[in-house]
Each structure stands twice: as structure tokens, then as C-alpha cells.
Chain A
Amino acid sequence: MAKNCHNDYKMKFSGDEEFPDLSLHNNHMAKVLTKDIYNKLRGKSTPSGFTVDDIIQTGVDNPGHPFIMTVGCVAGDEESYEVFKDLLDPIISDRHSGYKPTDKHRTDLNFENLKGGDDLDPAYVLSSRVRTGRSIKGFTLPPHNSRGERRTIEKLSIEALATLSGEFKGKYYPLNGMTDKEQDQLINDHFLFDKPVSPLLTCAGMARDWPDARGIWHNDAKTFLVWVNEEDHLRVISMQQGGNMKEVFRRFCTGLLKIEETFKKHNHGFMWNEHLGYVLTCPSNLGTGLRGGVHVKLPKLSTHAKFEEILTRLRLQKRGTGGVDTASVGGVFDISNADRLGSSEVDQVQMVVDGVKLMVAMEKKLEKSESIDDMIPAQK
């Protein structure tokens, strides 16, 4: 079990002596952590031995960007969110638009509840994708797990995925065992994930023992993909070219529920509770853990003065097509939902579908040099 430092021994020093220097920091953890909270929590640990210093280490080591607000803490296990609620609840509230400790989160993976989404104009919407994460109950999370646990997670995942059939029939590629040919293929398909280099992840201990028990599974059609033991136990991705988000979401929900069935049969369901929804390593991914998005051409709209405002009102965010923190290329943007906690999967994908539809209509108007002022939406 990875352990930051020797907690019992540290208790001999005062809270003041141990309190981190956060004077140059700009992340959620640094905004919330006070000496009082630190003193209250420093003597505690989860049953598996995760402590408050383990939770915050990544935020101490990475002061943050002046413009991007990172979370600055991670969970080591399911109990982290309980034992350290005095620190994590305010962070969750800050990150998830005021979500309260008494709020309940709704899960809805019934794809039939999604309205529309099969008619996004493929001349503008180049590809569609939905991803989420899942943690397996009874195991500690990537910042903390031992090699034995990580290997067991891999073993269970391989077994579960091997039961899938039909459109979900596929194959597992362990990072440690793949041939050069397989590796090149996975790179060309944009499926292969690398050892994390971001210090946000490495400082949280998620790259330990790489590439032991890490791997990628995908179906034969290459439209449904699972990452094992990267930043979460599982990351599940459904994607395809074009704008048929409805189909992507159908496959996403169907596949997820099938996988969950198999894990439940082995008495290892997913970590979930009615307050936080699906429990994942980073507090930013609580709730649905869902990011549903498209790559869409918006060269005119993206240079419009109200672009940012429109996105905010639609509860959407933009990224470059290389992923978070990249710039857009050729006017093509990655547009996805901003919310994760407090609304359901169907709600969030609906916002993407409706919002993108509206933005493509705006783009078309701007192409004809018409005004879009009467199309600006109200705040959702």
C-alpha cells in the first residue's frame, strides 16, 4: 500500500509545523484548506491508511495555473470522501456549482430518455464521443492501491469484458505484453494511453509500478473502448465519426450496464452512493464522471464576441481537439458538458446535443452574414 509518510510519527509535530505553504497556490484545495481543518483531519486515516497529507500532496506540489483552476486533491479509496468530508465537501461545492452535502445525485443511464441527437449536421460535427469512469468496490484507488490490488482489478476487468458479445465483442491488450505491431495500431487508432507525465497525476502516485496491470480493451468495431488502471480503475469510452450522438450514447449505456452486471455477479459492483453518484479518484469526476462531446467546426461562431457567454449559458466547455489545454486547430473545437455532479447522464448529454445543434445553426447564420442576437440562449 502506498503511503505518503508515516502518519503516527508525524503526529508528534504540531499542526502548524506540518501545515503546507500555499501562498503561491491557486487550486480548489488551497482555497479551502485552513489550519483548523488541517488540525481536525491530520490525526485521521481511512481503514486502508490514506491520510489528509496523501489527499492534498498533488495540490501542494502543483500550485496551479493562474487561469485554470485545478482541484488539487485526490481520493485514495471510497472512504476518503467520508473521513475527510470537512475538506472535500467544500471543495466539491466549489467545483460543482454549490452542490451541498445534503444534495442527492440522480443516475439515469436509460438512453431512450435522450431526445434527438441523431441529426447533428455531419458537415460540421466531425465526431462524437462519451466517456466516463468507474471504480470497483472493495479496492483502493490508483493513488493508493498496491500491486496486488491493481492486478486483481485487471483480472476482474478482463473476465468481465470477455463475457461481452455481439457489437461488444472485443480484445484486451495489456500495456506490458503488446507486440510492436499492436502498439502501432493502437497509436494510429488514437486508443493508446501513455504513462502519465502530467505532474498533477504523478505527484498523486498514479504512475507507480507502470505499466504493471495496465491495459486497453476495445471492441472489434473500434467504437467502444475501456482503459484499465490509468487515472481510474476503469475509463469507458464510446465514440464514432460523425454526429450521431444518440447512437454513441446508446452504445455507451448498453455497454456500461452489461459490464456492471458482470462485476456485480462477482460481488464487486461499482462504487456509487446517492449523494456523490459514481465515486472516482478526482473529485471533479464525481456524479456521472461523464464527458460527452463532439469535434465541431465553428470558425465563425468561435470568433464571435459572445462565444464564451453562449458556452457558459449552455453549460458547455470548449477544448482544442488535442484534449484539455490544447488550442483549437482550423476552427474545430471539442465541445462538451461542463457539469458532472447534480444532473444525470441523460441531462448532460441532452445539454450537449441541444447546445451543439443550436451552435451549428448559429454558425450557419453567421456564414450568411446574418445576426444571431435573437438566438442567444438563456442561462440553463
Chain B
Amino acid sequence: MATQFTRMLAGRNTAVVLASLGAGTLATGYLLTDSTAAAERRVLYPPSADFPDLRKHNNCMAASLTPAIYAHLRDKSTPNNWTLNQSIQTGVDNPGHPFIKTVGMVAGDEETYEVFSEIFDPVIKDRHNGYDPRTMKHPTDLDSSKITSGVFDERYVLSSRVRTGRSIRGLSLPPACSRAERREVERVAVMALSGLKGDLAGRYYSLGDMNEREQQQLIDEHFLFDKPVSPLLTSAGMARDWPDARGIWHNNQKNFLIWINEEDHTRIISMEKGGNMKRVFERFCRGLKQVEQLIHERGWEFMWNERLGYILTCPSNLGTGLRAGVHVRLPNLSKDPRFSKILENLRLQKRGTGGVDTAATGDTFDISNNDRLGKSEVELVQLVVDGVNYLIDCEKRLERGQDIKIPSPLAQFRR
């Protein structure tokens, strides 16, 4: 019940308030229990003995972690006893791809970003185009009414989607959570979702309990998520105890969907066929706000602070955690040698329609925002809207035999 957890929440509130104040208040961390065995071990194995071999590695963690930083942080832990070694294990185990730079570290709880800021801050800066958590503030804006020109030409745009993640303050994140914590995340989320009404009313399917028919239905609708097989996730401990306390919730209209306890506490997805991104985002914001209201009523809240925005497991998803995208046909533009540069300047990325790392089939691409942190949700969705409209305009020009222009690069951060 909530009572057990609210008691704990009260105890953790100090740490959490300090965390949201930021600026290294928890930088000193909490030293690991000083038992004789632990003390002996520290003498026998100084940090230099444990420093990982990162010579073949190409990820953000390996680029920033030095023996000095490691020595400073190795013996610290968050209030829940999460350590640096645990955070970086996935990056040590997965050297990375020569072309794709993975992050290589995860957070075990909200305090991770504070206690280990000495390594997380440079990694965040590296991943998020120079965003400096020490000095900058992240804007949050979920007012979908601000979006303009958010309805695309459906001869080109086949579907529209917005996703993000949310973590429940007071409970550890997927790499670290115990079974009890994970089950509590499920309870809190499902209870909140059951309060949604109207076009958002829906139901929950627990991964462990669903029958074959339900399972097949969810697979056919492309809603079902599987036990993670990617070593990036399994090395970080996110697949432990599968499928305990994992599940999928969706509304009756099947355009608002929540994943529970996959890579984050919750992943929220709004999607529909066609090009009405404005409506997709409107539902996204409305649903998110209602869920937040429903958990507030029971004494819970999302992890958020003004330096880092919404706190999620992977540093790459900090800030908005938002990926807004479309499946769009661009047969002519995709063959133009300027395509990549255009995308780059518009701060967009392309993926195959199977998701990250898949190849495009035919001429249809998944186009979405690159950035997550330093710009608000509204800014990012508008950026995608403007960008996709530009791409469609280029496509039409090429169809008519007209020339196209590479747009000037967009500014990175609001000053």
C-alpha cells in the first residue's frame, strides 16, 4: 500500500529536494558501509586496480571517464547504495559500434545524476550538444495549442507519433529496482490510468497474465514489447525478473499507449495513422497531464528538476525524453545527395520504419527530432512539424523538376 512508501518518501524527500536544487549538493555522496571487509578490500584493490579497460571502446562514458574521476567516485553510493560501477557496467560490457556512439551508462535512481555528476555532466554535455547542467536550465512546455501548421499532406505522411518517458519519484529506476519497487511502479501507474475517461479510457494487459489471444492481438497492432535482448539493456540489469510487473496499457481507441517497466518506469506513446501531428500531440499532452494529476492525488509525482528536466534511465532521454516523428514517403528527396545535410540542418534524424538501426524500406522513412534536452516539448514538436513540411515541399519541388535549397542550420539552445 501507499503508506509504506509514503513513509519512505518522507525520508527521501530531503535527498530529493537537494537533488532538485542541483549544483553538487550531493556531490560528496554517501560512503559505502565501512565494514572491515569493505575497508580491507579498498586497500587491497585501489581504484586503479578496478579501472575498466576502455581502449577498444567508443561510447560517451568511455570518452569522458578518466582514472582520476573513477578514483574519486568509485567508493561513493547513492542513498539506495547504487554505485558508479553499476552505472557504467553496460558501457564496459558493450564497447560500441564504430559508427554509432552509444551513451554507455545508466542511472539507478534520481540521485545518481547528483552523486556521480562528475561523470554524468560531461557525458550529458557530449550527448546533448554542449548542454551544461551546471549552468543551464531546461524548459518544459506541454501546451499543445501553440503548435502551428501541424497537419501534414497525407499523400506523403503515413503516420504520426510522439513518445516520451516518465519516472515515479521515490522509486528506483529499472537497472536498480527491486521486485517490490517495480511492482509498486506498476500499481501506481495502473491505478492512475484507470482514472482516465472519455477518449482516453482504456485497459491494462499485464505481460505475465495475458492470454494467447490478447498477446496475438497486441502483436498484430505493433503494441507488444518483448523481453529486451539488446545487450545494451541486459548488461544494465533492466531485464531482471522478467516479466514480473511489466505490462501494456492502451485506450479503447488504440491511439494512446503506455509501456510499464520496460526501459523506464513508464513510456507514453500517442500515435495515429495519417498526418495530424497536432492532434497526436494534443492527446499526448492532455493524457500526460491527466496521468500526472491522478498520481498527485495519491501523493506521488514524476522525477523532474530544472537542470535536467524529466529524469529517465538513460542520459540520452533527459530533458523532454521526447521523440516526435512521422513515417513519410520521400522517393525523390531520399535520392538527392543533399538529403543528409538538409536533415542535419533541420536537426532531424532518419531511421528505417522498423525503428532505430533498421534500414528504410522503399522510400518511406521514420523522421524525428535529434534533440531531447535544452528545448521544450512544444519547441521540439514544432521543429519536427516545420522540418517535415520543409521536406515535403522539397519532395514536391523535385517532382516538378524544380530545384531545392539546403536550409540554414537551426540554433541549438534558446539563449
| Chain A residues proximal to chain B, CB less than 8 Å | 1-3, 5-10, 12-14, 17-21, 47-49, 53, 57, 60-61, 146-149, 151-152, 176, 202-203, 207-210, 212
Contacts and interface: CB of A to CB of B under 8 A. Distances in A.
A151 B53 CA distance: 11
B99 interface: no
27 contacts: A2-B89, A5-B176, A6-B80, A6-B81, A6-B178, A10-B180, A13-B4, A13-B181, A17-B184, A18-B178, A18-B179, A47-B35, A60-B241, A146-B45, A147-B51, A147-B52, A148-B44, A148-B45, A148-B49, A149-B45, A151-B49, A152-B49, A176-B53, A202-B234, A203-B240, A209-B53, A209-B93
Given A5-B81, A20-B241, 6 more contacts: A5-B178, A17-B183, A19-B179, A147-B49, A209-B89, A212-B53
Interface residue SS majority, chain A? loop
B376 interface: no
B208 A21 contact: yes
Contacts of A60: 240-241
B82 A6 contact: yes
Nearest to A60: B241
Contacts of A18: 178-180
Interface of B: 4, 8, 33, 35, 37-38, 41, 44-45, 49-53, 79-83, 85-86, 89, 92-93, 172, 176-181, 183-184, 208, 234-235, 239-242, 244
Contacts of B37: 47-49
B41 A1 contact: yes
Contacts of B45: 146, 148-149, 152
Contacts of A9: 79-81, 172, 178
Nearest to A138: B44
A6 B81 CA distance: 5
Contacts of B240: 57, 60-61, 203
Contacts of A148: 44-45, 49-50
B239 A61 contact: yes
B413 to A, nearest CB: 36
A341 B179 CA distance: 34
B52 A209 contact: yes
B323 to A, nearest CB: 29
A19 B241 CA distance: 11
Contacts of A151: 49
A1 to B, nearest CB: 7
A376 to B, nearest CB: 45
A9 B15 CA distance: 14
A157 B295 CA distance: 56
Contacts of B239: 61
Contacts of B41: 1, 48
Nearest to B49: A148
A146 B50 CA distance: 7
Contacts of B85: 1-2, 146
A114 to B, nearest CB: 41
A147 B89 CA distance: 11
Contacts of B51: 147
List the 5 closest pairs (A to B, CB-CB), nearest first. Answer: A148-B49, A6-B81, A148-B45, A17-B180, A13-B180
A57 B244 CA distance: 13
Nearest to B242: A61
A3 B83 contact: yes
Contacts of B81: 3, 5-9
Contact of A20 (B52, B53, B179, B184): B179
Given A20-B244, A60-B240, A12 B49 contact: no
A215 B235 CA distance: 21
Contacts of A6: 80-82, 172, 176, 178
A12 B178 CA distance: 11
Contacts of B234: 202
B148 to A, nearest CB: 47
A260 B175 CA distance: 39
A208 B50 contact: no
Nearest to A24: B208
A152 B38 CA distance: 18
A98 to B, nearest CB: 31
Nearest to A23: B208
A241 to B, nearest CB: 37
Contacts of A12: 4, 8
